[in-house]
Structure 1
């Protein structure tokens, strides 16, 4: 690698999209590509890195190294295999370093930094990571849409659709049923269309925005769904804290991701349920998002999450030696 100031790139690969940010001095570049469900996650990440570097514009230094930090969904707590992604980065024609980890780690680093505590990331899916000062970690949920992701955007969207169909069967359809018809089409043909063209989890999660609008407009069923989502996320946090040995510790707990943007609907039930399950936990606002955590991972060692992170160097010239 050259001795000039490196370019730092953070990548957040989620179910609904892949975001990247590149920084060099005072210059910043951004890029977005399709997410996990678009297929070939390594290609999506490499495209996002290339896009962010292109958006960064001309670099004043000759051939700076590129330091890449990636948090990706779909690992379910397993270590990533960086081979294909490393090859994609080598194709960019630059030398650099890749650090790649589960998106729960970058969500944690963005929200709290490398300190003891717990972070729940709730977007399309939901996952909790707790860590103590010695590097012991515990993960809760993150099982995916069909097996878990309790309190996630997908959970909210699916629960609302199911409740609307139940109310229709009871001859008591309300505003949720009207919203389902408006977004998903006639309910009579919904099962057949769902089987023929199953919606991806992020599409179902997108319906959570409609449910939030209804809740704010006074719909009791929609409001109850969001309250229950907060309770479920708090239950997952408490489980991770106790498994990490932090059940009685006064550690910070932060929430991040798209679901937590609806603080008016989610935060009251989340904090109340967390106080009941883990009274010493201290709910705090997230300092930054998972993309900020990925950028921090690119820039500095992963601290307590070293065992969950894979690091490798990439060099475009290596392929021609």
Structure 2
């Protein structure tokens, strides 16, 4: 693990990582997923610093971040709590030491993790007690990474967030309950996500190789260049891989590039992906006028071939909602949830699987 420079998103407070005069509580946020573990520390107002009915302050800015590219292990019992603690606790101690804070100065922790909803039982059982033993009394929130992505993108406003990367999931809330759509993995769903787009593009490449209707020569040439092999060798390259979703998703930028070059098959794939993402947002977005919708994740860096049809679909399906830019990412969201726990002002709804608080 290595300590990184202080970081923060737009509109998230002073760049020095402080939360203003009189702040004395430290909070920890963590984002755990397939690309590794990121842990950040921030300083916020303690729960007794403001009247109970006061509005929550701005989201905190990280005073420091520790990043590891090694993912937390997942086994038959779910996310490995011991492995998570072996990474999280040293990172927290490093950050507290670098900030000149005492170990018992930690007030709240939020861990956002991929798979928390279905594989997080061990974490929910072990982490609160273990963190209390290490750092003294500390509030703990354990969240699905889609929830921290929501908090990072929209804060505590009602609305919907579509998180797109290798997969795709939409989360929505009216601040009373959570609604989820998709995020079921590349075999059962993740429709419109990177693996879905990449698979559709490779199928079009194979159609062209076979001479079947619906094929694309441009996608076939891109596939040959991407995998350095002719199409008939792709099954042997792809099927034995244990990281097939990521391999499929690696072809999504090629599909977007072909769409930008006006290949009709590729453009059709991107329009279909946009429809899927918009349907997921529609399924979870609150019906109240002015609800906000944000897009977050690397998928949306594919640019206009996806974003233009997606914005059109959202406008058609959710005319009452307002599409806004995401303010931050999942690590920002984890810090926000931890800060609100420390302040006693958390408005996002608790949920046994998606956002458990102790």
TM-score range, shorter chain: 0.7 to 0.9
Q: TM-score, normalised by structure 1?
A: 0.81
Tell me which of 36, 39, 44 is aligned to 1:20. 39
Q: What CA distance in whole angstroms lies between the structure 1 residues aligned with 2:186 and 2:154?
A: 26
1:317 corresponds to: none
Gaps in structure 1 of 5+ consecutive residues: 313-321
- Measure how far apart 1:224 and its partner are: 2.9
Q: What CA distance in whole angstroms lies between the structure 1 residues aligned with 2:187 and 2:73?
A: 14
Q: TM-score, normalised by structure 2?
A: 0.73
Instruction: For 1:40-51, list aligned pairs within 5 A.
Output: 40=79, 42=81, 43-44=83-84, 46-47=86-87, 50-51=90-91
Q: Does 1:31 align with 2:67?
A: yes
- Measure how far apart 1:298 and its partner are: 1.4
Q: Does 1:267 align with 2:307?
A: yes
Q: What CA distance in whole angstroms lies between the structure 1 residues aligned with 2:208 and 2:110?
A: 46
- Measure how far apart 1:155 and its partner are: 1.1
Q: What CA distance in whole angstroms lies between the structure 2 residues aligned with 1:180 and 1:45?
A: 41
Instruction: For 1:125-274, list aligned pairs within 5 A.
Output: 125-133=167-175, 135-170=176-211, 174-184=217-227, 185-241=229-285, 246-247=286-287, 249-274=289-314
1:105 corresponds to: 147
Alpha-carbon RMSD? 3.0
2:14 corresponds to: none
Partner deviation per Cα, 1:53-95 (whole Å, 9 max, x = no partner)? 536763323333263212222244787542344577579x434
Cα 1:183/1:87, change in 2 over 3 Å? farther
1:281 corresponds to: 321
Q: How many residues align?
A: 303
Instruction: For 1:82-101, list aligned pairs within 5 A.
Output: 82-86=124-128, 89=131, 93-95=134-136, 96-101=138-143
Cα 1:309/1:76, change in 2 over 3 Å? closer
Contact 2:238/2:247 (8 A) holds in 1: no
Q: What CA distance in whole angstroms lies between the structure 2 residues aligned with 1:36 and 1:210?
A: 30
Gaps in structure 2 of 5+ consecutive residues: 1-22, 45-61
1:316 corresponds to: none
